[in-house]
Amino acid sequence: MGRMIILHRTILQYLIECTQGVKYDFMTDISAKFGKKVREIRLKKQMSQADLAKVLGVHSTYISGIERGARNMALKNIERLAKALGVPIEELIK
């Protein structure tokens, strides 16, 4: 019985490690695409990161993190960001 538990634990650890790597890559990719779109729209609106941060009531490093894909934003914050940029949410996630 003890050997079965060890085997199951080893398999489970392997699966968790594999899944975490896949999830991380996926989230990084989607966050980077989102951040790139935010930066593109912000620049079209001729806003600095500081300008956008002021409208949102956050620090400019938060905007920098979004644009670099280092932040995974909550839906409420995506909505606030869209309003601050004056675009529909759909525009940010194209």
The pLDDT, as a whole number, for residue 49 is 97
- What secondary structure does DSSP assign to 25-79, as a single string? HHHHHHHHHHHHHHHHHHHHTT--HHHHHHHHTS-HHHHHHHHHT-----HHHHH
The pLDDT, as a whole number, for residue 30 is 87
| Number of domains within the chain | 1
The pLDDT, as a whole number, for residue 24 is 47
Q: What is the mean pLDDT of residues 42-52?
A: 97
- 73: containing domain: 2-92
pLDDT at 73 over 60: yes
CATH number where 72 lies: 1.10.260.40
Q: For the whole model, what pTM was predicted? A: 0.70
The pLDDT, as a whole number, for residue 60 is 95
